Amino acid sequence: MSRVARFAARDPGLAARITGFLAHLRAHGFGLGVAEAETALRALEHVCAADPEMTRRALKAVCAGSADEVTRFD
């Protein structure tokens, strides 16, 4: 079973939470920048944010650029 990272629920809004999540991924070797942050926010406009699985899939599609990153994202 994979470990689940916990992020502060106090972050002021979705953009701050996504920025923090992408910073977490960068700290773990994902090559993400401003363009991916913008794309992630746009992707989340097209899914039900209340559905964790849909949110995970949308962010995975944006953030995982290789087979290794796909595996590590999960």
Q: What is the pLDDT of residues 32-63, one digit of tens each?
A: 999 999 999 999 999 997 899 999 999 999 99
pTM for this one? 0.81
Give the residue extent of every domain in the chain: 35-74
How far apart are alpha carbons 49 and 35 in whole angstroms?
Answer: 20
Sorted by sequence, the CB contacts under 8 Å of residue 72 that are 6+ apart come out as 28, 29, 30, 64
Sorted by sequence, the CB contacts under 8 Å of residue 60 that are 6+ apart come out as 70, 73, 74
Position 55 scores a pLDDT of 94
Written as one letter, the residue type at 17 is R
Q: Comparing C-alpha atoms, which of 33, 60, 58 is closest to residue 44?
A: 58
